[in-house]
Structure 1
Amino acid sequence: MNDKSPSRAAAWLVCALVAAALYGNYYVYDSIGPVADALQRQRGFSDQQVGLLNAIYSLPNVVLILVGGVLVDRFGAARVTVWTAAVCFLGAALTALSPDFAGMAAGRLLFGIGAETFGIATLAALAQYFVGGQVAFAMGLALSIGRLGSFSSDMSPTWFAHAYAQGWQPPLLIATAMAGASFAGALLYAWMDRRIAAADKGPMEKQGQPFVWRDLLHFGRAYWFLLALCVLWYSVILAFRSTFSIKYFQHAHGLDLASAGAMNSYVFLAAVFATPAFGWLCDRAGRYAPFLAFGAVLLPVAIATMALSSASLWISTALIGISFSLVPAVMWPLASRLVSPQRFGTAIGLMWVAQNAGIAGANLVAGWLNDRAGASAQNPAGYEPMMLFFGLASVAGAVAALTLWLTAGRKEQERAPPHR
């Protein structure tokens, strides 16, 4: 950090506030899965409608995430964090209070408009306060706390059983309260940022990474394989885990709601601790593509184990947990090695755009397949087309990862240390 930067204690306090804000944001994102069955039983929603509640989160970000990066560069991380946290809070409230599907969908759309740009702003804040050291650790720690929000959302049927017993709405009101807490954390961070800026009497280093279309011409083949893996892997993980897995566990494997939510939650709980550990291991080994390929291959193995065998769900959950911990720990450092530091922001921006398009599409396709096949507790075989779809997509992602490993070569895997 430069001479005018705040103390290390202040930087870690900012990290804590950002992490708290991320916790609430992640909780709201994953709040649909635990109430999916109740929305069908009590409100008559189809699986396609349930899938749309999460797909509509991603749809605006196919374009708006590029705008979000420009806003962060133009107005600063602190302001944009507050603005987007407020939008997320309003979106969560509209989702919980709406009397019909259209209102809930509008709420999720509003939440999605704020949430991804919120994510960019929080990472930019950490990059600003940890210039010169520990930025990767700070980001990893904040994201791990965010994942605890996802774990908490999955565990909410157990922790807030009384609320779930009252129907679909009380759990979503709890999610709204979490969004309010996230907004409060963002306000505290912005207040602290203003005080630090006033005391320093000088701006801290900015981390702007504008999106430039012509930079795409300079990306090599290895980057495009990485982008394909990013789209396919995240589409399967998030569409299944965040939207349909709890219903699938209930209807196809006979778990009750609390047990299904707990089973699903362990994927994120494992990632909270394992992701930093895997990142440390890859840094020590100096190799990224082989670890990435291994993590990607585990996902189709887990889907096949879950759908085609009578093996315990703990086996497939463990495999998904390892994959979910390993792939993100490797993907972003590898991206920084496959493109130059000057184009790193463009590369990540494009990956996030494509990722959101893939997640939205996967949610819609999976919901349509379930409705078409009549998937339900009375017809668990109706989930087979959805699982086949997820299986084929995860296989395609694994092929992209293996091709990346085989074609990138040691030179691309072992460039200079990742850009910070």
Structure 2
Amino acid sequence: MEEVVISQGSSKSTGDIEHYDEHYDTYHDVSIDDTRKLGNDWEKKKLYYNTFDGDSSFSITPIKRDNYRADNRYYVLLLSTFLMFGGYFCMDQPNALSKHLEQSLTGESAMKYNMLYSVYAYPNIIMPFFGGVFIDKVGLKSALNILFALCIAGQAFFTFGGYIEGSHGYTMALFGRCLFGMGNESLNIVQSIFANKWFKGKELAFVLALGMSVGRLGSTSNNLLMPIMADKLCLSAALLFGLSLICICFCSGQILLRFEENAQRRELPVNNPGNDEKLDFSSLKKFPLSYWLICLSCVSVYSSIFPFTNISNSMFMHKYDLSLTVASRLTSSIFIIAALLCATFGFLIDRVGYRISFVVFSSFLLLTAHTSFLVMPACDGCYEGLFPLICIGIAYAIYAAALWPMIPIVIKEEYLGTAFGCAIAIQNAGCGFGPNIVGFLQNYDTSYRSTLIFFMLVSIFGILCEIVLYFTSKKYHSNKIQLPSDKIAEIESKEYEN
């Protein structure tokens, strides 16, 4: 496969191209018009053009798909998704071990228990703003190692906190959850970067959705395994298992880096000073209204899912008189459904579009679920809560598959890092303050009625934002968000040619 580099000083109309032939390890000059002969339309679309102000010169850097060879891409997919599995497994440990944590660390205080999730989310209200730039500056290898160091240290503090009962153990556990949150959320950004490098194109949305599915399988495995392990052994053994899993994920990350390093060795060095990453928050002013509506929708929907799953085991035990093991299995049904369906919905949405419509439908499912929990009477040993849990699982799968691909549609490529970071930060603000509000409502009303009304109001707010997003997209983006991925690519290709 031959590779093409157009130097920065080449003329748009008459400049020469340095044409590299890897078989002979040489460069030779060809006319710029000869680039039409170097590949088909798909290969032409794989070129990035960068025009410099006050100059007619430009540079072209090809996306070298052969560098990320098909025979290695699926190993990368397996390894990168396993990082998500381990991270989500440990993130949701407090929910699966709520009864045992109550006995040794948190006591009867709902506020103390929910704080284990709040301190996880608080650092990530700010961290995502800097995470993408940090990764770009230090490189994937250093970033991955630093972030894993935070995850391992955080899980270690949380584990050792389980060995120490009382306030000292609780303080250590809180500190560990904070460190783990700082590392784990940014690791998700690293996983997205690997996915973009190896699967850019039509497969990207599917791969991102698959990563979320595997991550939720980690949450499901945690809810199923941890209560059993804690009952048969002890709380510390269950927490130590999570620490061991994070260490295994670190080893997988090192193998993943080797694949990336091998691919980068085949890259041609291109001098492109116009793409230096800068931390410039003034770009936020350029983001359209539709982007901020997407962010508001994101924080509302995630705030009505994750703070609920944090307290769902406790609600099932108190309202339906179920054991912790049974309650954990019911809660895990949300993540099982999401894990099984998210990639499928990602594949479907890529082909049919209607992203906003799917998002509105998912929010209505969430509203239906929380309303059902509210009107269902308390009962002993019943499984009436299974139907609304199924609704939440389907809603989560649809929403995750439809929401995140919207951002590249409304935001220019050069601002995507800032856009994703800002969206994740706003999402974590909701997931950080949401548990505090829920903990306060639980202490105020132990029947969970006020808590469920809160989730209903948040879901309604999300629906209103999404309806406004639909009309905004129709007015300012020619309803492009609703189109299938191939239609969007066709429109962008025409804009590129013009």
TM-score of the superposition, structure 2-length normalised? 0.76
Residue 416 of structure 2 aligns with an amino acid whose one-letter code is F
Pair 1:115–1:203, CA change in 2 (3 A): farther
Which amino acid is 1:363 matched to?
Answer: P
> For each residue in 1:173-207, what CA deviation from the matched residue of structure 2 results, as whole angstroms up to 9, or x when unmatched?
22112212211211221233334444x26569999
1:54 alignment partner AA: Y
Are residues 1:91 and 2:132 paired?
no
Equivalent residue for 1:262?
Answer: 329
Equivalences for residues 207-246 of structure 1 within 5 A: 212-241=280-309, 243-246=310-313
Matched, 1:282 2:349: yes
Deviations 1:31-62 (A, max 9, x none): 11011122223332511111110110111111
For the pair 1:314 / 2:377, whether they are aligned, the reply is no
> Are 1:332 and 2:404 matched, yes or no?
yes
Equivalent residue, structure 2, for 1:396: 461
C-alpha distance in 2, partners of 1:237/1:112?
18
In 2, Cα distance between equivalents of 1:133 and 1:386 = 41
Aligned-residue CA RMSD (Å): 2.5
* TM-superposed deviation, 1:120: 0.6
Asked if structure 2 preserves the Cα contact closer than 8 Å seen for 1:95 and 1:104, the reply is yes
Higher-helix-fraction structure:
1
**1:102-153 Cα deviation digits (max 9, x unpaired):** 1000000010110111111111122122345533333332332222111111
Percent identity over the alignment is 25
- Contact 2:86–2:246 (Cα < 8 Å) also in 1: yes
Higher mean alpha-carbon deviation, 69-78 vs 303-312, is at: 303-312
For 1:86, give the aligned amino acid: A
Which blocks of at least 5 consecutive residues in structure 2 are unaligned?
Answer: 1-62, 378-382, 493-498
Q: Does the CA contact (< 8 Å) of 1:54 and 1:360 recur in 2?
A: yes
**Which residue of structure 2 aligns with residue 150 of structure 1?**
219
Partner of 2:126: 63
- In structure 1, what residue type is equivalent to 2:197? Q
Rate the CA distance shift 1:336–1:162 in 2: closer, same or farther, 3 A: closer
The answer on whether the counterparts of 2:131 and 2:421 sit within 8 Å (CA) in structure 1 is no
Q: How many Å apart are 1:337 and its aligned residue?
A: 2.0
Aligned partner of residue 77 in structure 2, secondary structure: helix
Q: Secondary structure at the match of 2:404?
A: helix
Give the alignment of 1:400-411 within 5 angstroms. 400-409=465-474, 411=479
Residue by residue over 1:226-264, the C-alpha shift from the partner in whole angstroms, topping out at 9 and shown as x without a partner, is 1111011111211111x2111111111222111111111
How big is the shift at 1:220? Answer: 2.5
- Quote the Cα distance in structure 2 between the aligned partners of 1:340 and 1:34: 41
Matched, 1:2 2:64: yes
1:361-384 deviation per Cα after TM superposition (whole angstroms, max 9, x unaligned) = 0011111222233x3xxxxx2x22
TM-score by length of 1: 0.90
Aligned equivalents of 1:208, 1:391: Cα separation in 2: 44
Is the Cα–Cα contact under 8 Å of residues 131 and 205 in structure 1 kept in the other structure? no
- Which 4+ residue blocks in structure 1 deviate beyond 4 angstroms? 201-211
Residue matched to 1:194: 261
Q: Larger relative CO (CA 8 A, sep 6+): 1 or 2? A: 1
Partner letter of residue 253 of structure 2? A
Measure the CA separation in 2 of the matches of 1:208 and 1:255.
56
AA at the equivalent of 1:82: N
Larger radius of gyration: 2
What are the ranges of 5 or more consecutive residues in structure 1 without an aligned counterpart?
376-380
Specify whether residues 153 and 203 from structure 1 end up closer, same or farther in structure 2 by C-alpha distance, changes over 3 A only. farther
